[in-house]
Amino acid sequence: MKALTILGSTGSIGVNTLDIIGQYPDRFKVIALTAHHNIELLFKQCIHYKPAYAVVSTEKLADNLQQRLRERSLNTEVLFGAKALADVASLSEVDTVMAAIVGAAGLLPTLAAIKAKKQILLANKEALVMAGPLFIEEAKRAQVTLLPIDSEHNAIFQCLYGRFEPGIPPKEVSKIILTASGGALRNKPLAQLKDTTPLEACQHPNWVMGQKINIDSATLMNKGFEVIEAHFLFGLSPDQIDVVLHPQSIIHSLVEYRDGSMLAQLSSPDMRIPISYALAWPERLENSATHLDLLKVAQLDFKPIEEARYPCLGLAMQALKIGGTATTILNAANEIMVQAFLEGKIRFTEIASLNQQVLEKIHSCPVVSVEAIVEDDSFARAVALEMVEKAQKNVLTAMEFSASAAKLRTEREHSRKF
Ligand code: NAD
Ligand code: MG
């Protein structure tokens, strides 16, 4: 029986993870669940999975949830704040931690889980982008098993016969190829990109995901972060990591071996497949994802990436080449810019141009400690916020914005198929 903490249980990855766990009550036990503010969904998850602990971000939300759970005679202890996240990630009764918080907030609890020698199911790519060298060093020192959840990295992991050592180049591999769908705006004329609304940018053609990763997919910053993630996870140099556009999202990535053989992993675009592989590794579990029908797929296309459409991919590659905390700075800037775009404060195309300005303005430092990373992260956020303030021109009218935001919320609720 595997005992789990799920960091970010109310998100898209968290909900899909619980979906699989719910089908195998004899294999998995939930010890702790965590959420930022969504206590409605967390309450339902607690009733269903009866964890020993639940964590939220504020004391007020914790009191509210605690009271409601007591009324239902549930013993779940509700905690709050960053320290509580790290605590439930390192409980002695937990052996596996699903790291599915979005953004920089996921770094410290994931590092705590590594230090406590838990098996790590890693969805939170921003943790590796922010702190790659340190993250991998800690994982090696603690000798933990890192199992990638991101569909591309999970695909590569499967094409490596389910084996790799964090940060060590896999034997006989000449390169890996990450596939990219191109996101919601892949067919929009370049000249019209600047008028994109948040709702439009979140309409991913193939996957159902959280808002931030949807925007990152539309800018292709997501793919840039995935190149960085692959570089640190698999120890490959940037020129051994290619990106190709594959609009169908059927091949999730490929490994090319030195003899010219290429192995690919194919499936329907459903995160329950990589999640169930990581949960049961090295076994495989049946799950409720649809199996592929190759005759219906009929065609697989591959195209080069259009650089002018996706400047964020180039920025991520630039930050990786600069090294040190440049990727920390880019990640922090990008979180601020994505939020500002979702709030209607900047244009879609300004996500890239303002990210670039932050990256150029701040010097990268060597990654020496978590404290140094957190400091550069905070500094970059402050610089980024200043730039948003300067750039802010109320891109959307108040009415356009509230209509778009309301629709976004509804879509998010629908995607939470608890
Ligand atoms: P999401 O927005 O749907 O969910 C995020 C989760 O993190 C929620 O439970 C939220 O409550 C929690 N959270 C957010 N901010 C927090 C904070 N400050 N403190 C504590 N908790 C916080 O995101 P998602 O789509 O599930 O993505 C989660 C991670 O997985 C991201 O890093 C994303 O890049 C990665 N990922 C997601 C997918 C996908 O299909 N959704 C695929 C590959 C990788
Ligand atoms: Mg991915």
Query: pLDDT band for position 414 (50/70/90)?
Result: very low
Quick one: what percent of the chain has pLDDT higher than 90? 92
Q: Whose alpha carbon is nearest atom 21 of ligand 1?
A: 36
30 CA from centroid of ligand 2 (Å): 25
Asked if residue 152 belongs to a domain, the reply is no
**Final residue before a domain boundary, out of 81, 108, 123:** 123
Q: Is the pLDDT assigned to residue 398 strictly greater than 80?
A: no
Q: Is the pLDDT assigned to residue 140 strictly greater than 80?
A: yes
Of 45, 88, 101, 204, the one to substitute when testing ligand 1's pocket (max ligand atoms within 8 A of C-beta) is 101
Asked if residue 337 belongs to a domain, the reply is yes
**Final residue before a domain boundary, out of 94, 123, 152:** 123
Query: pLDDT band for position 406 (50/70/90)?
Result: low
Query: pLDDT band for position 401 (50/70/90)?
Result: low
Pocket flag, ligand 1, residue 38 (CB < 6 Å) = yes
Q: Is the pLDDT assigned to residue 410 strictly greater than 60?
A: no
CATH number of the domain residue 335 falls in: 1.10.1740.10
Pocket flag, ligand 1, residue 17 (CB < 6 Å) = no
Q: Is the pLDDT assigned to residue 411 strictly greater than 60?
A: no
Asked if residue 244 belongs to a domain, the reply is no
Q: Give the closest ligand to the alpha carbon of residue 209.
A: 1
pLDDT for position 203: 93
Region for residue 157 given its phi and psi (left: phi exceeds 0; alpha: psi -120 to 50; beta: otherwise): alpha
Average pLDDT of the residues of the chain: 95
225 CA from centroid of ligand 2 (Å): 9
Asked if residue 194 belongs to a domain, the reply is no
- Sheet (strand 146-148) strand order: 77-80, 53-56, 28-34, 2-7, 96-99, 119-122, 146-148
Q: Give the closest ligand to the alpha carbon of residue 129.
A: 1
Range from 125-134, 149-158, 339-348, 387-396 carrying the lowest mean pLDDT? 387-396
331 CA from centroid of ligand 1 (Å): 15
Q: Is the pLDDT assigned to residue 416 strictly greater than 50?
A: no
Query: pLDDT band for position 405 (50/70/90)?
Result: low
Q: CA geometry: angle at 105 spanning 100 and 109, to 5°?
A: 70
| Residue 166 Cα distances to 143, 147, 232, 298, angstroms | 9, 10, 8, 36
Amino acid identity at 393? K
Query: pLDDT band for position 158 (50/70/90)?
Result: very high
Q: Which residues contact 309 (CB under 8 A, 6 or more apart)?
A: 185, 186, 190, 193, 220
Asked if residue 208 belongs to a domain, the reply is no
pLDDT for position 309: 98
Residue range 401-414: mean pLDDT, rounded: 59
- Is 152 labelled as part of a ligand binding site? yes
Asked if residue 159 belongs to a domain, the reply is no
Coil/strand/helix, residue 134: helix
| Per-residue pLDDT tens over the stretch 83-126 | 999 999 999 999 999 999 999 999 999 999 999 999 999 999 99
CATH number of the domain residue 36 falls in: 3.40.50.720
Asked if residue 360 belongs to a domain, the reply is yes
Asked if residue 385 belongs to a domain, the reply is yes
Residue range 348-376: mean pLDDT, rounded: 97
Residue range 255-268: mean pLDDT, rounded: 98
Q: How many domains does the chain have?
A: 2
pLDDT for position 208: 86
pLDDT for position 409: 60
Look up the domain containing 49 and give its range.
1-123
Question: Rounded to two decimals, what is the model's pTM?
Answer: 0.95
Q: Is the pLDDT assigned to residue 157 strictly greater than 70?
A: yes
**Final residue before a domain boundary, out of 123, 144, 179:** 123
**Do the beta carbons of residue 102 and residue 213 sit within 8 Å?**
yes
36 CA from centroid of ligand 1 (Å): 10
Give burial (CB, 10 Å; 0-12/13-18/19+) of 314. Answer: middle
Pocket flag, ligand 1, residue 10 (CB < 6 Å) = yes
Q: Is the pLDDT assigned to residue 417 strictly greater than 60?
A: no
| Per-residue pLDDT tens over the stretch 268-299 | 999 999 999 999 999 999 999 999 999 999 99
pLDDT for position 263: 98
pLDDT for position 392: 81
Q: Give the closest ligand to the alpha carbon of residue 204.
A: 1
